[in-house]
Amino acid sequence: MLVTLRDSPADAEIISHKLLIRGGFIKRVSGGIYAYMPLMWRVLKKITAIVQEEMDAKGALQTLLPQLHPSELWIKSGRWKGYTAGEGIMFHLKDRQGKEIGLGPTHEEVITKITGEMLNSYKQLPINIYQIQTKFRDEIRPRFGLMRSREFIMKDAYSFHSCEKDLKQTYEEMNDAYKRIFSRSGLKTVAVDADSGAIGGAASQEFMVTAEAGEDLLLISSDGKYAANQEKAISIPQEAIPLKHEKSFILETPNQKTIEDLCTKNKFNPSQIVKVLLFLAILENGEKQPILISIRGDQELNEVKLANVLGTFLEQPILDIRPITKDQSDAEKLSDIPFGYIGPDLKDSVLNNTNSWNKNFIRLADYTASKLENFICGSNAINKHRCSIDWNELGGIPKVSDLRKAIAGDKSIHDSTKIIRECRGIEVGHIFQLGQKYSRALNSNFTNEKGLLESFWMGCYGIGISRMAQAAIEQNHDEEGIKWPISIAPFEIIVIIANIQNELQKKLGEAVYKKLLDYGLDVLLDDRDERAGVKFKDSDLIGIPWRLVIGRDASSGKVEIRKRSRKESEVLEVEAAIEKISEDIFSERKLFERKPL
């Protein structure tokens, strides 16, 4: 079944999404929900086979876990509320008995429970279990086709260990397996340090397909030895420009509420200013915690870093962080806050009138602000700023953390002579060192060598199977359509009968098709009753690596062949054409086959 479209659908924003729809690979059912059509299913099966081979080669065991998860497991791990309340991504429902159930977006809780009930001794460890199945996530804004959909195919693996050293070894093995998987699938990826997010754990690494359509901003050193997602990236910012003034004084700054206004009207540089930001953290227990942050005026706050710092400081997950704005201030009866003129020493008393929370500020400073010897900041009075003030005059430096966004142009932390550059990436894989987070929460233990109960050390490792397929198109396409890597192409060669009404062409086309099958090639026969030009355009659109056309030269026993990656075609005798195509395909297969460990 080959049904293609000439025009791109209105809701398709990026090229890979457009080509998948136009080529008939996927069919939209509803927002973020797609059917995988026959061509796409062949691509997914080929990717899946590569993943299975590499996972099996590392000794991982395949299983299939339930998609329905009882809420009590997620309550024990502390993730139920965060995943289901407000903007949480878990689909959830109640069964006939009134019990809450979630559709699995990930399987840490389920596998931890099962493994804890099956394994009880260090002698049974390590073990690595994986599955390939549909996952569900209630995305607020599903977009970009399979890149951010509500239902998708994923490989997720979970390893269990008796010690951290053993966990790190498997983590490195999975790192190697992932590099092999992406390479064999024809994807160019970069591995970057990443934030562990809601999954948690001590360390994690993302595998990114570099592409302009990527949702993630990657920061990479000029020598390529350091790479990180911006959420995680650490870098050395440009030096601040010193202030010339020596003694502190109050400067009248009427209606100068922004860094830009303050600098323009007083010839300051943003790096000479400490700006103060107010945020409200929503904790897992439902409490609200006000935060006061000091950061250098030329820097931007990284809210992911802030959430991680707060989570450690408060010893509980942060469900949400939102700025305290003037509108919210009015709603919360915080009218004493001098927005636009706030200083790092803003009194906690401005919070005393609110009935929504009863807490003082947690005060944090980004290290860029803490290093300033004298600076400009708000005076906590409308239309006034303080100049050439230092931290001692403000009562000391708040708790210092890395809270800034690393940006292009910064210096790399591994070598200050190397400059950070940026590019965009599509996440196709993510590996985590979970540590004992889930095993402790779910009381999943084993008996160690000393005969004592200990929580499992765990790792988890995910690959987006359906996302990989679309990401491959972002890296492999031209103005005519897709250019599939041969290892994951739905077919290796398409045989086109130019005129199906011509009996000679039809018989020769069917004979060539059968012979190519006998050679062990993956062949599609296009014998539709369509114009030859339509068939040629469709073959380019769907991206089959080789095309063999039975046309006007059929009477002389010749056919036309063309490789999708090239513009030129050539006319050869049937046997010569088959020989050339088969040799090329077998040669490319060797490039993508599994290499010995």
The CATH number that applies at residue 579 is: 3.40.50.800
Same domain for 256 and 230: no
Residues of the chain above pLDDT 90, percent: 79
The percent of residues above 70 in pLDDT, for the chain, comes to 96
Q: Flag whether pLDDT at 15 surpasses 50.
A: yes
Q: What is the CATH number of the domain that holds 451?
A: 3.30.930.10
Give a yes or no: residue 165 inside a domain.
Answer: yes
pLDDT (average), residues 395-403 = 95
Helix axes 503-518, 574-592, angle to 10 degrees: 40
Q: What is the pLDDT of residue 319?
A: 79
Q: Taking residues 323-348, report their average pLDDT.
A: 78
Q: Residue 149: exposed, middle, or buried by beta-carbon count in 10 A (0-12, 13-18, 19+)?
A: buried
Instruction: Decide if 449 contacts 510 (C-beta within 8 A).
Output: no
Residue with tokens 């906690």: 348
Asked if residue 198 has pLDDT above 60, the reply is: no
Q: Does 377 lie in the same domain as 435?
A: no
Higher per-residue confidence, 136 vs 195: 136
* Distance in angstroms (rounded) separating the CA atoms of residues 430 and 421: 22
Between 317 and 590, the more confident residue is: 590
Give the pLDDT mean for 268-295: 91
**Mean pLDDT throughout 489-502?**
97
296: tokens are 């250098």
The DSSP call for residue 286 is S
Q: What is the pLDDT of residue 200?
A: 57
Considering the domain boundaries, does residue 37 fall inside one?
A: no
SS3 461: strand
pLDDT for 299 beyond 80? yes
**352 and 265, same structural domain?**
yes
Rounded average pLDDT over 292-316: 91
If pLDDT is split at 50, 70 and 90, which confidence band does 510 have?
very high
Per-residue pLDDT, averaged over 165-188, amounts to 96
CB atoms under 10 Å from CB of 506, counted, come to 16
Give the pLDDT score at 314: 84
Q: Alpha-carbon Rg of the chain, whole angstroms?
A: 29
Are 279 and 198 contained in the same domain? no
Is the pLDDT confidence value at 567 over 60?
A: yes
Which residue, 218, 265, 240, 510, is CA-closest to 383?
A: 265
**Cα–chain center distance at 52:** 21
Average pLDDT for 366-373: 95
CA distance 413 to 336: 41
Mean pLDDT for the stretch of residues 123-129: 97
Mean pLDDT of 306-327: 84
Residue 29 within a domain: no
In the predicted model, is pLDDT for residue 125 greater than 90? Answer: yes
| 256, 262 Cβ separation under 8 angstroms | yes
pLDDT of residue 247: 86
Q: Helix or strand or coil: residue 391?
A: coil
In a domain, 60, yes or no: yes
- Inter-residue contact 90 to 138 (CB < 8 Å): yes
Task: List beta partners, residue 70.
Answer: 101
Cβ(421)–Cβ(408) below 8 Å? yes
- Number of domains forming the structure of the chain: 3
Mean pLDDT of the chain: 92
What integer pLDDT is reported at residue 331 of this predicted model? 46
- Could you give the CA distance from residue 424 to residue 219 in angstroms, rounded to a whole number? 9
Which range has the worst mean pLDDT, 116-125, 315-324, 359-368, 389-398? Answer: 315-324
**Same domain for 259 and 221?**
no
How far apart (Å, rounded) are the C-alpha atoms in residues 481 and 457? Answer: 46
Do 521 and 493 touch, CB atoms closer than 8 A?
yes
Average pLDDT over residues 355-380: 90
Give the closest residue to 161 by CA, choosing from 442, 455, 462: 455
Joined together, the tokens standing for residue 347 give: 């009194």
Average pLDDT over residues 580-586: 96
Q: What is the pLDDT of residue 541?
A: 97
Res 597: pLDDT: 65
579 and 515 in one domain? yes
Q: Work out the number of other CB atoms within 10 angstroms of the CB of residue 448.
A: 14
By 3-state DSSP, what share of the chain in percent is helix, strand and coil, each rounded to 5?
Answer: 30, 30, 40
Q: What is the pLDDT of residue 330?
A: 44
Q: Are the CB atoms for 18 and 24 separated by under 8 Å?
A: no
- Is the confidence at residue 596, as pLDDT, over 50? yes
Taking the alpha carbons at both ends of the chain, their separation in whole angstroms is 40
In this structure, are 62 and 129 located in the same domain? yes
pLDDT confidence of residue 13: 85
- Please indicate, yes or no, if residue 75 is contained in any of the structural domains: no
Q: Identify the pLDDT of residue 193.
A: 84
Residue 223 included in any domain: yes
CB atoms within 10 A of CB 312: 10
**pLDDT one-digit tens code per residue, 429-469:** 999 999 999 999 999 999 999 999 999 999 999 999 999 99
CA angle 41, 47, 50 (to 5 degrees): 140
Which of 489, 464, 484 minimizes the C-alpha distance to 147?
Answer: 464
The whole-number average pLDDT for the span 151-169 is 97
Domain annotation covers residue 358: yes
> How far does CA 158 lie from the centroid of its chain?
19
Helix ranges restricted to H, 66-207: 71-77, 80-84, 108-118, 164-184
Least confident of 3-12, 225-234, 470-479: 3-12
38-57 and 164-184 helices cross at what angle (nearest 10)?
140
For residue 293, the domain's CATH number is 3.90.960.10
List, for residues 50-88, the tens digit of each pLDDT value: 999 999 999 999 999 999 999 999 999 988 988 988 778
For residue 116, tell me if it sits in a domain. Answer: yes
pLDDT(334) > 90: no
Euclidean distance between CA atoms 567 and 98, whole angstroms? 62
Q: Which two tokens stand for residue 202?
A: 């001590």
Q: Are residues 269 and 309 in the same domain?
A: yes
Answer yes or no: do 468 and 495 share one domain.
no
Is residue 466 located within the same domain as residue 355? no
Q: Let me know whether 339 and 457 are in one domain.
A: no
Assess whether pLDDT exceeds 50 at residue 260. Answer: yes
Cis peptide bond N-terminal to 126, omega within 30: yes
What is the domain range of residue 375?
A: 249-403
Residues 265 and 393 in one domain: yes
Task: Please determine, for residue 288, whether its predicted confidence score (pLDDT) is greater than 90.
Answer: no
